[in-house]
Amino acid sequence: MKSFYRTIILLLGLTALPLFTGSAQAREKEEFSRGIEMSTFVPKGNWIAGGSFSYSENTASDYEMLIVEDIDGTNYSFKVSPFVGYFFKDNLCIGGRFGYSRSMIKLNSTSLNISEDLNFDIENFYNLRHIYTGAVFFRNYISLGNSKRFALFNEVRLSAGGGQGKTISGVDEELKGSYQDILEMELGLIPGVTAFIAESVAVEASINVLGFSYKKYDQTRNQVYQGSFESSGVNFKVDILSINIGVSFYFDRLFGNSKKKKN
């Protein structure tokens, strides 16, 4: 856990560095300039609210995939994540996010055929898991030139959550099951791009690039045996399968326009 807190301080310090070096860059601008001009994409005082949603479901019947044969089952995954934030400075936003995820795997039967002498059969396997998470985030926008419609953003997110999971396999006398209490913490660096499709509505896409995660599972097997598992690690990778798509609304833009029309 100590390494988790040290990583939090380091990443937050790197993110906040431009706030403290801005004055020094201004003094050096007369001596050297790259000609890059930063424009205001979202002004101070704006509120942002939105969320992302994803759902997927798969069903297989007598399906084969590599060494896995006769797959008969179904699974689904569901995730929703609303958020709200406030721009305390031009292009700089701080806010909170709530998330809920749920997944289920029901495998009626399948066969794992590695070789003629090595094969396994799995029947009546069921796994259900759901997790609640809360997060705080800091986001800064970088406009693309003088565009007021497109911009890049970088988000630092600290999240923590918990949930439960259960696994059941077998039938009758061979029935086995386990119950899990889940604790997860994560500090992530999430870049993305946003585009306005209306005066106050934007769509955005982001992807997890850098993160530190900590997970702990407390398990009870067959209502008798106790076990636990902990893991932590840092990853730096671009996973195109983890792209998050969302919609956001900018309230002050909407209110500001309505006031102008009245005048």
Burial of 253 (0-12, 13-18, 19+ CB in 10 A): buried
Cα separation, 95 vs 157, in Å, equals: 10
Cα separation, 130 vs 102, in Å, equals: 4
The pTM is what?
0.72
pLDDT at 188 > cutoff 60: yes
pLDDT at 163 > cutoff 80: yes
What is the dotted CATH code of the domain comprising 2-262?
A: 2.40.160.20
* Closest CA relative to residue 248, chosen from 83, 46, 136: 83
Q: What is the mean pLDDT of residues 172-176?
A: 79
C-alpha angle with apex 91: 88 to 95, nearest 5 degrees?
Answer: 50
Cα separation, 201 vs 248, in Å, equals: 6
pLDDT at 157 > cutoff 90: yes
What pLDDT is recorded for position 91? 92
Domain layout of the chain by residue ranges? 2-262
Q: What is the mean pLDDT of residues 142-161?
A: 90
- For 56, the token pair is 């997927």
